Structure 1
Amino acid sequence: MISLARKTALGSAALALAVGMPVMAGTLMLGTYPDKLFTVDEATGKIGEKIQLPGGLPVSLRVTPDQAKIFATTITNSSVIVMDAKSHAILTQFDLNTPTERYRFNGGAPDPTGRYFYTTMMRMDKLIDRWKVSKQMYAVIDIKLQKVVRTADLEPEDDAMSGGFRAPMMVSPDGKSLYIFKEKVLVVDTAKLKVADRIDVQKPDATGYENVAFGGGVEGFQMTNGNQLVSLFTAADPYVHNKVFGLGKFDLNTRKFKFTPMGPITTGMSGLEITPDGKTGYTVVTNGTTGNKRCEFWKFDMTSLKLKDKVEFGCRSRFQLGMSGDGTKLYIYGASYDIEVYDAQTMKLEKTWDLGADATMAGMLVLK
Structure 2
Amino acid sequence: MSLLVVACGLIAAGPAPPPKLTGGTGTIYLGSYARRIVVIDEATEKPTAEIPLETGLPWAVRLSRDRTRFFVQSADQEHFEVIDVASRQTLDTFTLSEGDKHVRALAFDVDPQHRVMVLVARTFTKLPDRFEISAPTFIQYDLKEHKIIRTVPWATDPEPQYYYLNLRFSPDGKLLYVFSNEVLIYDTTNLKQIDSWNLSLPNEPGLGRFDLGSMDETNDEPGYFTALFGMEDPVAKRRLLVVGRVNLGQKRIEFFPIGPAPGRGEVSFALAPDRKHGYVLVEEIRHHELWTIDLAGKRLENQVQFEGRPRMALRSSSNGQIIYIYEAGNTIDLYEAAGFKYLRTITLDADMMYGSFHVVPSRAPIAR
Q: TM-score range by the shorter chain?
A: 0.7 to 0.9
Gaps of 5+ in 1: 1-22, 203-213
With CA pairs under 8 Å and 6+ residues apart, which has the higher RCO, 1 or 2? 1
Distance 1:231 1:77 in 2: 24
The aligned counterpart of 1:275 is: 272
Distance 2:82 2:281 in 1: 31
Distance 1:147 1:317 in 2: 42
Distance 1:318 1:96 in 2: 32
The aligned counterpart of 2:358 is: 365
Aligned length: 329
**Conserved? CA contact 1:25–1:324, under 8 Å:** no
Give the stretch that moved more between structures: 60-69 or 127-136. Answer: 127-136
Structure-to-structure mapping, 1:221-240, within 5 angstroms:
221-222=216-217, 224-240=220-236
**Conserved? CA contact 2:187–2:193, under 8 Å:** yes
Which of these residues, 257, 261, 273, is aligned with residue 257 of structure 2?
Answer: 261
SS at match of 2:267: strand
Q: Deviation of residue 39 (structure 1)? A: 1.2
SS at match of 2:335: strand
1:219/1:242 Cα in 2 relative to 1: closer, same or farther (>3 Å)? closer
Distance 1:149 1:162 in 2: 22
The aligned counterpart of 1:17 is: none
1:271-314: CA deviations, max 9, x gaps? 32222222222111234x3xxx3111111222112222222222
Is 2:287 aligned against 1:294? yes
Which of these residues, 307, 321, 341, is aligned with residue 328 of structure 1?
Answer: 321
The aligned counterpart of 1:141 is: 141
* Identity percentage of aligned residues: 29
Distance 2:213 2:113 in 1: 20
1:54/1:128 Cα in 2 relative to 1: closer, same or farther (>3 Å)? same
1:354/1:201 Cα in 2 relative to 1: closer, same or farther (>3 Å)? closer
The aligned counterpart of 1:220 is: 215
Distance 1:161 1:56 in 2: 29
TM-score (norm 1): 0.81
SS at match of 2:357: strand
The aligned counterpart of 2:3 is: none
Distance 2:121 2:48 in 1: 33
Structure showing greater Rg: 2
Code of the aligned partner of 2:59: V
Distance 1:305 1:252 in 2: 21
The aligned counterpart of 2:243 is: 247
Structure-to-structure mapping, 1:69-80, within 5 angstroms:
69-76=69-76, 78-80=78-80
Distance 1:225 1:250 in 2: 11
Which of these residues, 328, 337, 341, is aligned with residue 348 of structure 1?
Answer: 341
TM-score (norm 2): 0.81
1:326-349: CA deviations, max 9, x gaps? 111111112211111111112122
Q: Deviation of residue 179 (structure 1)? A: 0.6
Q: Deviation of residue 115 (structure 1)? A: 1.0
Q: Deviation of residue 225 (structure 1)? A: 4.2
Give the stretch that moved more between structures: 218-227 or 176-185. Answer: 218-227
